[in-house]
Amino acid sequence: MMGRSMRKPVTVTRPFWQGVFPPDTLDYWAGLINPAWSLSRVRARVQSVTPASRDAVTVVLKPNRRFAGFVAGQHLAVHVTLDGVRHTRSYSPSRLPDAPECLAITVQRVPGGRLSGYFCDQAAAGDLIELGDAFGDMTTATHARHTLLLAAGSGITPFIAQLRELALSPRSGQESLTLLYWVRDRASACFTDELDALTRSLPGFRWQLRVTGDPADSAAASRLSAADLANWLGGRHAASAAVLACGPAGFVSAAHGLSSALGVTCLGEAFSPPAQGEAGEPVRVRLLRSGRELSIPAGQALLPALEAAGVKPAFGCRMGVCNTCACAMPEGVVENLLTGEVSQEPSSALKLCVSAARSALVLDC
């Protein structure tokens, strides 16, 4: 038997040019031949843009071979350069059974929003954008015997991605899957026909539209309430049930509170930044990489506070989910604005967008 020490060393062979030229240089030349080609980046070509509701479009993208794929329910960073400025936002992709080499994102217009405005008004077949890796935990719609999906506005997107996959390969062990979907008015609801069809093809699936901004609508409803969760849970045992919530930060935090009151596990993903705290006394921040020292208000998210002081940290979602803004904090006390937790331990990956200073800080950025 060949022992470990007798194995031939593994030789990694790469094309000679990868050792000679930096990846960006190779990308530049590859891009001159075909703008979608890249040796280090995931570039994707827009294939089509179609209305998904009055306020949203579905954009079909064909990524290059560097794309590592995703699990339905995850999200990925989408980078678009507009007027020379690179913008990054998170979107939840879904697969297209008819075009397995493509993925679709559905983007809802945010008034005054830069990227949603681009996708809804300007994006066209042939545009080239860049994608980041996929990540996120909103992938467990089938893990409990009874699952309640709570979506508000564009929070429907990780759920439709999972429902589509479930329709293709339903899993055993799940008895019920219920979706409650809140929208301001009926014209802003996406995927309604598809959801109706899923009630016929996906065993145990039911859904209800909740319209909050039109009292005359037959689906007129108020915001998420304790009664919604209690009615759904009924006589079921809390341990056999789970809630997944996706939408604005206030909606997700209400879902967490109401679920925990019933003893039901809740997994939430907010699509909007956390509420900003009151600006407190100024505190000193030392930035190790630039050697700068500056003063920012305690209690406010570090990312906008640093930006206001002229520092430009990298960012993606600005909501604590993508990790793009994370940097080490060797010293200081910070509050997590999503959970209210205060930490005075050094951190190797402090998310600047959802952390606020509670003392003077040292940051490795």
Q: Which of the residues 255 through 274 are near ligand FAD (CB under 6 A)?
A: 269, 271
Cα–Cα–Cα angle for 36, 61, 185, nearest 5°? 150
Please tell me whether residue 317 binds ligand FAD under the rule CB under 6 A: yes
Q: Is 75 in the site for ligand FAD (CB under 6 A)?
A: yes
From 54, 65, 114, 171, residue interacting with ligand FAD (rule: CB under 6 A): 114
- When the beta carbons of 9 and 111 are compared against ligand FAD, the nearer one is 111
d(Cα 117, Cα 93) in Å, to the nearest integer?
18
- Can residue 325 be called a binding residue for ligand FES (CB under 6 A)? yes
DSSP string for 4-60: GGGSPPP-----HHHHHS-HHHHHHHHHHH-TT--SSSEEEEEEEEEEEETTEEEEE
Residues in contact with ligand FES, counted by CB under 6 A, come to a total of 12
All residues at 6 or more sequence positions from 345 whose CB lies less than 8 Å from its CB, including other chains? none
Q: How far is the CB of 312 from ligand FES (least distance, A)?
A: 13
Cα-Cα-Cα-Cα dihedral sign, residues 292, 293, 299, 305? negative
Closest by CA to 105, choosing from 56, 32, 65, 66, is 56
Give the strands of the sheet with 282-287, arranged side by side: 293-297, 282-287, 361-363
The token duo for 311 is 């520092």
Smaller CB separation from ligand FAD, 41 or 75:
75
**315 counts as binding ligand FES under rule CB under 6 A:** yes
Q: Interacting stretch for ligand FAD, rule CB under 6 A, among 15-23, 106-114, 121-129, 220-228?
A: 106-114
Choosing from 209, 318, 350, 365, the residue that interacts with ligand FES (CB under 6 A) is: 318
Residue number, 251 or 315, with CB nearest to ligand FES: 315
Q: Which residue is nearest to ligand FAD (CB)?
A: 113
- Alpha-carbon Rg for the chain, nearest whole angstrom, is 23
Footprint on this chain of ligand FES (rule: CB under 6 A): 315-318, 320-325, 351, 353
Footprint on this chain of ligand FAD (rule: CB under 6 A): 75, 89-92, 105-108, 110-117, 154, 157, 269, 271, 317, 319, 321
